Amino acid sequence: MDISDQVRAFVATVQTGSFTGAAERMGISNRLTSKYVAELEQRLGVRLLQRTTRKVGLTPAGEQLMARAPAWLEEMEEMLGAVSEETRGFSGTLRISAPVTFGEVFVTDLLRQFSAPHPELRIDLRLSDAFVDLASAGIDLAFRVGTPTATSVVARKLGEIRSVMAAAPAYLARQGRPGQPGDLRDHACILDTNRRSGTHWTLHPKGQPEAPASIEVPGRFMVNSARIARDLAVCGEGIVFAPEFILRDDLREGRLVPLLEEYDSPTSPLSAVYLEGARLPRKVRALIDFSVSYARERL
């Protein structure tokens, strides 16, 4: 029997705590799992597991093997996968997490382009504005806006997200244009409640980030989606303050008009994050590198 199957059965038995659990994980019978472990013990000439009627425990030799076996299996699978990917492309599943609007507008197309040359690759995209624990959710890679605070993750910065202010020509024809940040108090503003600044919009003169002005604006509409805020602005309902990548097409095609262009707003970092200490599969590393190039062209 292939030693890799024997080691895999041993590791699965230890991790699940029983031959039954290992059999379920490997998709084989309980009897075959036990047989693989027994054959490995015979091959090595040592007992690896202490068997009881309820559970299995590790012997000193088993502890020594378990300290190295999972990494050996991962390295072997990555090596074989790399050889296979050279000819067939990436395969298997990539589980990705992203905020809702950012995922719909930005990440979906990124993943579509990345996966196009790899027909055997499956994408599992999970969108949520709530904090997602990568380990418990089994996430391979997460896209996050803002500075990552969790110490258990590694962040690869992809770029900076800049927000712009805009309104529809119809709204400006009725209400006029704000000439300075303070004028926003007299306008109908569409508030994205996902923004950490809430009802305060922060601007500073271009080239002078050290002189910010925080303006408390009236919110005619309050929504928890930058995409809906953009839709309302296009309909002439007020002024929107949203990430530039969401408004770019509307600004280019004239559905929205940029406002207060002599001012900038603080930017937010965009990062690809993954679990610290995790052994990154080749396809995850490739996705991170692709994301860097993709963001450079579109942010």
Q: Which of 164, 167, 222, 235 is nearest to 192 (CA)?
A: 222
Which of 42, 59, 80 is the last residue in one of the domains? 80
pLDDT class of 104 with cuts at 50, 70, 90: very high
Question: Are 49 and 25 within one domain?
Answer: yes
Domain co-membership, 109 together with 140: yes
Q: Any residues with CB less than 8 A from the CB of 137 and at least 6 apart, and which?
A: 95, 97, 126
pLDDT computed for residue 81 by the predictor: 65
Joined tokens for residue 253: 């095609």
- My answer on whether 35 and 172 are in the same domain is no
**105/112 Cα distance (integer angstroms):** 12
Residue 103, in any domain of the structure: yes
Shared-domain flag, residues 172 and 252 = yes
pLDDT in tens, 226-255: 999 999 999 999 999 999 999 999 999 999
Does a structural domain hold residue 85? no
User: How many structural domains are present in the chain?
Assistant: 3
Is 107 domain-assigned? yes
pLDDT band at 83 (very low <50, low <70, confident <90, very high): low
Give the containing element (helix H, strand E) for 11.
helix 3-16
Residues 283 and 262 in one domain: no
Task: Identify whether residues 235 and 174 lie together within a single domain.
Answer: yes
pLDDT of residue 273: 94
Q: Is residue 221 part of a domain?
A: yes
In a domain, 136, yes or no: yes
Q: Are 203 and 264 in contact (CB under 8 A)?
A: yes
Is the model's pLDDT at 85 over the cut of 60? no
Average pLDDT score over residue span 247-274:
94
Structure tokens of 33?
């799992």
pLDDT of residue 133: 86
What domain range includes position 170? 163-266
Of 32-36, 59-63, 83-87, 171-175, give the range with the top mean pLDDT: 171-175
pLDDT at 152 over 90: no
Q: Is residue 96 part of a domain?
A: yes
Residue 136 sits in the same domain as residue 179: no
Contact 295, 152 (CB under 8 A): no
> For residues 134 and 97, is the Cβ–Cβ distance under 8 A?
yes
Write the CATH number for 10.
1.10.10.10
Report the C-alpha gap between 288 and 86 in whole angstroms. Answer: 18
Q: Please state at what angle helix 19-26 crosses helix 30-44, rounded to 10 degrees.
A: 110
Asked whether the predicted pLDDT for residue 158 surpasses 70, the reply is yes
Tokens of 139: 């996430």
With a cut of 80, say whether residue 86 has pLDDT above it.
no
Residues 128 and 96 in one domain: yes
Range 210-236 average pLDDT: 90
Give the residue from 159, 166, 119 showing the smallest Cα distance to 143: 159
Residues 76 and 12 occupy one common structural domain: yes
Domain of residue 285, CATH code: 3.40.190.10
